[in-house]
Amino acid sequence: MTLTDERPRAPLPQELAERFRPRADFAIRAIAHEIEQDGPRLDGPLRELVQRGVEVVVRHAVDVARGGNGWPDRCARVFRRLGEVAFDEGRELTSLHAAYSVGGRVAWRHIAEFGQAHGMPADLLCNCAETVFRYVDELARLSGEGYTAAQARKAGRIALRRRRLLESLLSSPPPAPRTLTGLASEAGWKLPERITAIAIEPGADLTVPDDVLASLDGPEPCLLAAGSADSLGWLSGSRAAVGPTVRLREAASSLRWARKTLALVRSGAIPESPVVRSTDHLGTLCLLGDGFGLAALRDRSLAPLEELTAKQRARLSETLLVWLQSGGSAPELAGKLDIHPQTARYRMRRLTELFGARLDDPDERLNLKITLRAEQLRGGTGGTVLA
């Protein structure tokens, strides 16, 4: 039976509790004194609350023995509040538990002396001792509830402040350094000199380290890691793309590249891997990063191929890209393409007919090479290039 039951057990039988009542004030003072002498050092609000708690519990115990009903709300409030204050002051719950143990020991001593003086049987004294220390356990439980509640409130406040800091770092432009420093201090997060953004798939179940800011809600969850984010084992099991490590004011750019990388992994342009780093695929990102510009370049550069069939375009595009990348004679092209040299010569003559002098212009050749490489990365499907 706990003290939250409607009628908790009394430490003394009713007739003895009535006689003990005049000694209650003395017992309260004695218990509070010995807690101060033998218990942990408690200062300020915590000390005052413990003294108040001693008085509330002793008077409650006497009232219950005299027929009082239940554990009053004020008792529960006092001991839950003790847990909250202990957390707010940075104290461990063990300090309160130690104080309650001292208090229980002293209370039992007073009850035992009183009971023996009034001829209380030994078995009844044993029951009284059990009840006293059950009270101690219940007080510790109530304070634990208050401590946990205070922890949860603080965690909620910190999470909100860390989210606000993340949003500020990702804004364009971000706030002034002084503002960011203030936000970081409120969030309990040390501002690094450099930062790395990480884009992750929605629905990821992650335990995020303390040095990582997280926004896991919404369709595009992301993280901001202090420094270069070298150790990412905690991302195991989640598809993620890591942006480049940048200065604080460039966090939004790092996230933009991380999200582009993740999109290209989804499309198959970048090979699948649990964690992909954008810096390992910069060429692909540059080629496929600007959808509008690349589409315009493709339309202009590959216009001579537009009137051909899809099969003809594919064959001539493959041949042109290999030639632009490596040059060489017809036999060399044939070897790279696994075709007959005569077929390679025919294709090159056809390309010369279609493109003419553009094949001799270094700028045009560069544009063709970029366009054809991008088409190759996209699989030649004509799908939408990443915007």
pLDDT of residue 8: 52
In degrees, to the nearest 5, what angle opens at C-alpha 149 toward C-alphas 143 and 155?
Answer: 140
Would you state the pLDDT for residue 383?
Answer: 37
Q: Which two tokens stand for residue 205?
A: 């179940």
Task: Note whether 197 and 243 are within 8 A (CB).
Answer: yes
Q: Are 371 and 245 contacting, i.e. CB atoms less than 8 angstroms apart?
A: no
Q: What is d(CA 82, CA 94) in angstroms, rounded to the nearest whole number?
A: 12
| pLDDT (tens digit per residue) in 100-135 | 999 989 888 888 888 888 887 887 778 778 888 888
Burial 87-123 (b: 16+ CB within 10 A, else e): beeebebebbbbbbbbbbbbbbebbeebbeeeebeee
| Residue 381, amino acid | T
Q: Give how far the C-alpha of residue 284 lies from the chain's centroid of Cα atoms, to the nearest Å.
A: 30
Spatial contact of 247 and 204, defined as CB atoms under 8 Å apart: no
Q: Residues 359, 352: contact at Cβ < 8 Å?
A: yes
- 20: CB partners within 8 A, 6+ apart: 12, 62, 65, 111, 114
| 3-class SS shares of the chain: helix, strand, coil, % to 5 | 65, 5, 25
14-154 CATH choice from 1.10.490, 1.20.1070, 3.90.550, 1.10.3470: 1.10.490
Q: Residue 73 has what pLDDT?
A: 75
CA 145, 150, 153, 157: dihedral to nearest 10 degrees? Answer: -160
- Quote the pLDDT of residue 12: 63
Element (H, E) at 225: strand 222-226
CB atoms within 10 A of CB 266: 13
Among candidate residues 226, 194, 200, the one with its CA nearest the CA of residue 213: 226
Rounded Cα–Cα distance for residues 189 and 195 (Å): 13
User: What pLDDT, on the 0 to 100 scale, is given for residue 161?
Assistant: 92
Which pLDDT value is given to residue 180? Answer: 92
For residue 109, give Cα distances in angstroms to 51, 101, 112, 143.
18, 12, 5, 24
CATH architecture under which domain 291-377 falls: Orthogonal Bundle (1.10)
Distances (CA, A) of 371 to 302, 356, 382: 8, 18, 12
Among candidate residues 34, 17, 153, 28, the one with its CA nearest the CA of residue 85:
153
Domain-wise residue ranges, the chain: 14-154, 192-281, 291-377
Q: Which residues of the chain have pLDDT under 70?
A: 1-15, 64-72, 289-296, 379-387
| Rounded Cα gap, residues 332 and 364, in angstroms | 23
- Cβ–Cβ contacts within 10 Å for residue 308, how many? 15
What token pair was written down for 161?
Answer: 């402040």
pLDDT attached to residue 71 = 59
Residue with tokens 């780093």: 277
pLDDT at 168: 94
Domains 14-154 and 291-377 share a fold: no
- Tokens of residue 290, six digits: 């600007």
The 10 Å Cβ neighbour count of residue 279 is 13
C-beta separation of 49 from 82 below 8 A: yes
Q: What is the dihedral of CA 190, 193, 199, 202, to 10 degrees?
A: 10
